[in-house]
Structure 1
Amino acid sequence: MAKYKGRILFVLAGALLIIIWDFIYYFVLQYSFNLQVDLLFGTLILFIGYYTGKNYDESNETVSAISKSEEKIKRLNEELHLVLQNITEVVFHTNSKGEFQFLNHSWEELTGYSIKESIHKNALHFISLHERHEFLRVLRRSISEQKEKTKIDFSFQTRSGQFRWGEVNIKLNYDENGELAGTVGTISDITERIHNEEELLEMNETLAIESQKLSVAGQLAAGIAHEVRNPLTSINGFLQLLRDDADEKTREYLEIVFSEIKRIELVLSELLILAKPQSVTYKRINIVETLDHVAKLLNTNAILYNIEIQTAFKQRDLYIRGDENQLKQVFINLVKNAIEAMPHGGNIMIEAGLNEYNKVELSFKDEGIGMKKQILDKLGEPFFTTKTKGTGLGLTICLRILRDHSADISVQSEQGEGTTFSIKFEAAHQQERKKREQTQKVW
């Protein structure tokens, strides 16, 4: 009904006008009745009224539609403004000169500068002086190549004087002549990422140094083995001849010498293991069976020290690819170290299972004396040991074996609370799947 409101009103107004006109024409002025003139006049007035009302209704509909569109646009603008002001990244707009025309509130959180003092200032003003040349070079090259988008990493100084890193993604807008008309884009804070990359680089450098140390230790081991073993054998032989004809006091001294020679031979044997490439055979093995065998092998020795070796396996079948003999050497070394760290007895717990990343995870936990952080940091260094009769090469060899098996090892220890060694292997089915995928890529 509202749609035809104007037409109804104007037609009624026309009818009222006809009635008034007829009243004045026939009753007041006393003119004679003329049906043809009345019909023509009445039809004309009603048509004009209907047409005017129709235009009025259409105008109202147009005004209403415009009003609704304006409300919708206003609501969309408010929502867009809300999004821009609450997004964590800085959103900006610059003119052709690089002067800020718009900034959201994240700008204040990132830089410490207010939006009011930053608007209409050149964006380069907020970039570190030594970075501006490189920033301009990349930007000018992008403009000369008519690129629509570009990304630049840069450092900047906050209002408080703190240096931070940002990543800017820029959308370049051009006019019809191909000239830069302005830019829009976002700025992300990547300071933490840069610091993590620096730490990773430093860590890689440290690992490279440690790897070089091991390489040098291996080369030294090969030289020591050849240069020392032969004369040591001769010395040992002649000392045995002297012992046969020596008196009791001399024999006592010679026994000390033989004890030290054996210690030298032990060090040489471990150096040879470290230096000499071992013959390894990688195959699919059930690591649970290997751990079971190690636990049973060392349990008798552990009982002598009032220690019980316990096992807890989440699955009975955990397959990895590796050399079983080498891995047994690692596990035996870890359990022996645990036994030696428990002079007052206790429990050693060996656990195995699949972790949340679908990797085979083993742990060796003791209730021993634990280690200080300074000792933990040096674990695995050649010739570093806390034992009075140790060579400092056992754990170094274990780490090399685990590295050859692409395994990760981590150590947690607290003084007086014991130590836990955790080892993570890639599951056999995962390795086999990757190998198949690589083969398919080749073909």
Structure 2
Amino acid sequence: MNKYTGRIMIVSLAVFILFIWNIYDYYFVSHSIHWMLRSILYIIILAVVWKFGAYFDRSKLLIKQLSESQRRYKNLLDETKMVLDNIQEVVFQTDGEGNFIYLNPAWTAVTGYKRAESLYSSFYHYLPFEEKSKVKTTLMDYTYSKSQEGRLETTYRKKSGGEFFADVHFKMYYDQDGYLIGTVGTIHDITERKLAEQEWRELNEHLALKSQKLSIAGQLAAGIAHEVRNPLTSINGFLQLIKNEFPEKDTYFNIIFEEIKRIELVLSEMLVLSKPQAIHFKEKNVITILDQVAALIESNATLNNIQLVKELPEDEILVDCDENQLKQVFINLIKNAIEAMPNGGNITLSCCVKGSSVIVSITDEGIGIPKEKISKLGEPFFSTKDKGTGLGLTVCLRIIKDHYGHINVTSHTDEGTTFEVVLPVMNHRSLLEPV
């Protein structure tokens, strides 16, 4: 009904005027116009008035639609402004010369420059000197090829004097003659990602260097073991013959044979380092393995005035492992703990499950390891002991790595050291679960 309001009002007004005119003509003019002609004239007048009313209604509707469009446009502008004001990425627009003609508030948050001082200045102004030539060449290539969009990574200067890495993604607009008339795009701060990539590269380089060292150490160890073991066997045999001729020198010969055994032990460790051992995985209870290791090492601990304290759960904790290799690891770590306690004390052997891992802890009350040496533990031929080779822990680390686990070390000088062997657990029953 609203779209006919104007027409109805105008026609009603026209009918009223015609009615007054008709009365006037009837009483004062004495029927100057024949009634048929008068009717035709009324119809024509009403038709014209209706037509003008239609124009009025149409213009009123257009004005209302225009007003609604303006309202929607304003709402759209407000929403767009709100998005641009709150987005964390820098949104920019430049003219054909590369001067900023729009910057959202994120520009100030990221660079420190106020938008008012940055507008109508060239974006080249905010690039480090060494980056300008590279960026200019890239943009020229995009422009010559009439690319519609582009992307580049560069660094931007901050007002405070620092710099940040940026990923710039932009669209390029050209006129009908192919000339660049402007760009619009975003600047995303990727400093954290770049630093993470740099740390990752450094870590990979460190691991590659460490792997190379280990490989060289293995080759060297194999060569030394091969060259030394054969003459050592001959020396050991001849010393046995000589010992029989000088029974009064047994004490000296026993010392020599002990040292030869020590050399053979070092050679065995070197061969283990140089030649990977086959691993036969089986489902084993780590608690049983620890009990057996404790039984083997307990007499050695007692001789050194050391008490081996076991804090092991009664429930099974199953791991997929090579039992003999795990025993080798635990024996080696406990022996290291014994050697780190010249004055005796306690060694605590504990085990627990955290999440999907089992953690075996070996804690001593020894002299501890300085912080600067902890990071070097496991490197071939590095040892905190005066007569150590450093190969024992290297072999342990490799075995645990082959079992998809890792070893953590915490130590405090003159207080003690804790080695944590972390392995993936296959199946366990919580200690809180009722039996």
Match of 1:411 among 408, 413, 420: 408
Name the CA shift for 1:73/1:426 in 2 (closer, same or farther; >3 Å): farther
Instruction: State the secondary structure of the residue aligned to 1:60.
Output: helix
Per-residue CA deviation, residues 83-109 of structure 1 (Å, 9 max, x unaligned), is 112111111111221111111111112
Letter aligned with residue 411 of structure 1 = N
**Paired residues of 2:407 and 2:421 also in contact (CA < 8 A):** yes
User: Taking structure 2 as the reference length, what is the TM-score of the superposition?
Assistant: 0.83
Equivalent residue number for residue 292 of structure 2: 297
How far is 1:139 from its partner?
Answer: 1.9
For 2:6 and 2:416, locate their aligned partners in 1 and report how far apart those are by CA, in whole Å: 92
How far is 1:317 from its partner?
Answer: 6.1
Equivalent residue number for residue 310 of structure 1: 312
For 1:261 and 1:168, locate their aligned partners in 2 and report how far apart those are by CA, in whole Å: 68
**Paired residues of 2:98 and 2:122 also in contact (CA < 8 A):** yes
**Paired residues of 1:90 and 1:105 also in contact (CA < 8 A):** yes
Equivalent residue number for residue 360 of structure 2: 364
Q: Does 1:35 align with 2:20?
A: no
For 1:346 and 1:226, locate their aligned partners in 2 and report how far apart those are by CA, in whole Å: 37
User: Taking structure 1 as the reference length, what is the TM-score of the superposition?
Assistant: 0.82
For 1:349 and 1:175, locate their aligned partners in 2 and report how far apart those are by CA, in whole Å: 76
Deviates further, 96-105 or 362-371: 362-371
For 1:77 and 1:275, locate their aligned partners in 2 and report how far apart those are by CA, in whole Å: 71
For 2:196 and 2:66, locate their aligned partners in 1 and report how far apart those are by CA, in whole Å: 54
How far is 1:32 from its partner?
Answer: 5.4
**Paired residues of 1:312 and 1:352 also in contact (CA < 8 A):** no
For 2:259 and 2:117, locate their aligned partners in 1 and report how far apart those are by CA, in whole Å: 79
Letter aligned with residue 308 of structure 1 = K
**Paired residues of 2:400 and 2:407 also in contact (CA < 8 A):** no
Per-residue CA deviation, residues 256-302 of structure 1 (Å, 9 max, x unaligned), is 33333322222111111112343x1565x32xx15244123124246
**Paired residues of 1:94 and 1:102 also in contact (CA < 8 A):** yes
Q: Number of residues paired by the alignment?
A: 413
Equivalent residue number for residue 96 of structure 1: 96
How far is 1:66 from its partner?
Answer: 1.2
Per-residue CA deviation, residues 3-39 of structure 1 (Å, 9 max, x unaligned), is 3221221111101211221233233445557422332
For 2:171 and 2:314, locate their aligned partners in 1 and report how far apart those are by CA, in whole Å: 58
Q: Does 1:259 align with 2:254?
A: no
**Paired residues of 1:372 and 1:413 also in contact (CA < 8 A):** no
Instruction: State the secondary structure of the residue aligned to 1:382.
Output: coil
Q: Give the percent of matched residue pairs that are identical in Structure 1 and Structure 2.
A: 40
1:263-274 paired onto structure 2 within 5 Å: 263-274=262-273
| RMSD, matched Cα | 3.1
Point out where structure 1 has 5 or more consecutive residues left out of the alignment. Answer: 356-360, 428-443
Name the CA shift for 1:306/1:323 in 2 (closer, same or farther; >3 Å): closer
Name the CA shift for 1:60/1:420 in 2 (closer, same or farther; >3 Å): farther
For 1:327 and 1:274, locate their aligned partners in 2 and report how far apart those are by CA, in whole Å: 16
Letter aligned with residue 408 of structure 2 = V
Letter aligned with residue 397 of structure 1 = V
Name the CA shift for 1:234/1:95 in 2 (closer, same or farther; >3 Å): same
For 1:151 and 1:410, locate their aligned partners in 2 and report how far apart those are by CA, in whole Å: 44
For 1:44 and 1:179, locate their aligned partners in 2 and report how far apart those are by CA, in whole Å: 60
Equivalent residue number for residue 161 of structure 2: 161
Per-residue CA deviation, residues 168-217 of structure 1 (Å, 9 max, x unaligned), is 11222233333323211111111121112222222222222222221222
Letter aligned with residue 399 of structure 2 = I
For 1:197 and 1:25, locate their aligned partners in 2 and report how far apart those are by CA, in whole Å: 99
Name the CA shift for 1:383/1:311 in 2 (closer, same or farther; >3 Å): farther
**Paired residues of 1:13 and 1:49 also in contact (CA < 8 A):** no
How far is 1:116 from its partner?
Answer: 1.3
Per-residue CA deviation, residues 299-338 of structure 1 (Å, 9 max, x unaligned), is 424666341151487x96665xx75544553455456656
Point out where structure 2 has 5 or more consecutive residues left out of the alignment. Answer: 427-435
For 2:332 and 2:81, locate their aligned partners in 1 and report how far apart those are by CA, in whole Å: 65
**Paired residues of 2:286 and 2:317 also in contact (CA < 8 A):** no
**Paired residues of 1:350 and 1:363 also in contact (CA < 8 A):** yes
Instruction: State the secondary structure of the residue aligned to 1:378.
Output: coil
**Paired residues of 1:84 and 1:104 also in contact (CA < 8 A):** yes
